């Protein structure tokens, strides 16, 4: 708070004080009070005004400057009332009480929305689990009557199953810490499980999977990592080059401070202008509009899960040549204790 702003805000007080001072001098002169006494009274009056204003300014400046400074430092600015002390002047106390009441109302409102969000998420999870049962039954029936239903029917069922998985993992990504279990996980086994789960889609597409250097264990949640690999595989099978056999290469490299898991395909690649946004929510880009229908949610969920698990993910690509995703697992002995 600047002194000139304080003075400007108190302008009416100074006008009234000046008028009062003038009237006082007028009456003292009218009653023929001695000049020395008038000067003494005027000095006391002016000293009182100056002292009171300086004291008020310094007291208020300390509170408001502290308020603004701590507000700038806070990431969660709604906690500001917990960072400042209740002041000893009326305006400050009123401001402090308003902040406390606003924070209380905000917390109650957030709690209501959180309960509503949690209820919706629980319903979605329950619905996904329920819908998976008839989907699994239909897949079994399709296998038993393949000659009548054909591979196209199976393919659509697998797509439905994949999209329900996506919904489930998206619903859980907001509170992933309640679902994942970080432990030592074999990359070789996890990759094998992901490939096995998508085996029929890979075979129908005439694609192949090559692996290298996967005899490494990392600290992660195997189920979440398997889902992420499944998203990579689904994208590779979706964005293929006509006349070119799809090859997916999965390799791992162990460094001093981290382990890198690379997933590379020889598909259509990603345009350079789209690369910075491939992990954005609902972003489909040029490929999503030209080659296949896409929700733009798969890679967004993968990115969210990596952040929850403490991993980092990056992508490199050359249009018409390849796309490569790299997940970095930090080495941390804390979970092994």
In total, how many domains does the chain have?
Answer: 2
The chain-wide mean pLDDT, for the chain, equals 82
Residue 228 lies in a domain: yes
Residue 126 lies in a domain: no
Residue 251 lies in a domain: yes
Q: What contacts 61, CB < 8 A, 6 or more positions away?
A: 1, 6
Using the 3D structure, point to which of 85, 104, 128 is the last residue of a domain. Answer: 85
Can you give the pLDDT at residue 207? 92
Whole-angstrom distance, CA of residue 30 vs CA of residue 32: 5
Whether residue 77 is found in the same domain as residue 202: no
Residue 80 lies in a domain: yes
Indicate whether 227 pLDDT > 80. yes
Can you give the pLDDT at residue 194? 92
Whether residue 203 is found in the same domain as residue 69: no
CATH number at residue 194: 3.30.565.10
Using the 3D structure, point to which of 85, 105, 138 is the last residue of a domain. Answer: 85
Whole-angstrom distance, CA of residue 279 vs CA of residue 102: 36
- In tens, the pLDDT along 238-272 reads 888 888 899 999 999 999 889 999 999 998 999 88
Can you give the pLDDT at residue 234? 87
Residue 214 lies in a domain: yes
Whether residue 76 is found in the same domain as residue 188: no
Indicate whether 203 pLDDT > 50. yes
Mean pLDDT (whole number) for 41-50: 86
Determine the structural domain holding residue 206 and report its residue range.
Answer: 183-336
Indicate whether 143 pLDDT > 50. yes
Using the 3D structure, point to which of 85, 110, 131 is the last residue of a domain. Answer: 85
> Which of the 8 DSSP states describes residue 280?
S
Residue 51 lies in a domain: yes
Give the position of tokens 């006509």: 242
Residue 118 lies in a domain: no
Residue 91 lies in a domain: no
Mean pLDDT (whole number) for 296-306: 86
Can you give the pLDDT at residue 102? 84
Mean pLDDT (whole number) for 83-96: 80
Whole-angstrom distance, CA of residue 163 vs CA of residue 294: 11
Whether residue 194 is found in the same domain as residue 312: yes
Q: Hey, which of 48-52, 87-91, 191-195, 242-246 has the most confident mean pLDDT?
A: 191-195
Whether residue 328 is found in the same domain as residue 190: yes
């Amino acid at each position: 708070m600047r002194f000139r702003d304080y003075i400007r805000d108190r302008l009416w007080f100074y006008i009234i004080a000046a008028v009062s001072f003038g009237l006082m001098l007028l009456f003292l002169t009218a009653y023929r009070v001695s000049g020395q006494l008038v000067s003494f009274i005027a000095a006391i009056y002016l000293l009182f005004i100056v002292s009171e204003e300086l004291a008020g300014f310094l007291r208020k400046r300390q509170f408001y400057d502290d308020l603004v400074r701590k507000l700038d430092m806070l990431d969660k600015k709604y906690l500001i009332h917990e960072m400042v002390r209740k002041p000893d002047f009326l305006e400050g106390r009123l401001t402090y009480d308003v902040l406390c009441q606003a924070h209380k109302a905000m917390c109650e409102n957030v709690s209501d929305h959180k309960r509503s969000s949690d209820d919706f998420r629980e319903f979605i999870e329950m619905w996904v689990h329920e819908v998976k049962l008839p989907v699994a039954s239909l897949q079994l029936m399709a296998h038993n009557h393949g000659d009548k239903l054909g591979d196209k029917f199976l393919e659509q069922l697998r797509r439905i199953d994949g999209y329900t998985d996506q919904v489930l993992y998206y619903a859980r990504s907001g509170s992933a810490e309640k679902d994942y279990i970080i432990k030592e996980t074999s990359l070789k086994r996890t990759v094998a499980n992901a490939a096995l789960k998508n085996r029929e889609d890979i075979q129908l597409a005439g694609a192949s999977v090559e692996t290298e250097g996967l005899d490494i264990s990392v600290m992660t949640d195997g189920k979440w990592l398997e889902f992420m690999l499944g998203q990579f595989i689904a994208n590779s099978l979706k964005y293929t080059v006509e006349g070119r056999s799809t090859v997916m290469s999965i390799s791992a490299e162990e460094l001093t401070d981290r382990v890198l898991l690379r997933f590379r395909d020889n598909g259509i690649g990603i345009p350079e202008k789209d690369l910075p946004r491939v992990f954005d929510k609902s972003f489909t880009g040029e490929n999503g509009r030209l080659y296949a229908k896409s929700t733009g949610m798969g890679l967004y969920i993968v990115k969210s899960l990596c952040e929850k698990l403490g991993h980092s993910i990056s992508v490199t690509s050359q249009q018409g040549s390849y796309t490569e995703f790299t997940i970095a697992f930090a080495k941390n002995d804390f979970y092994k204790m």
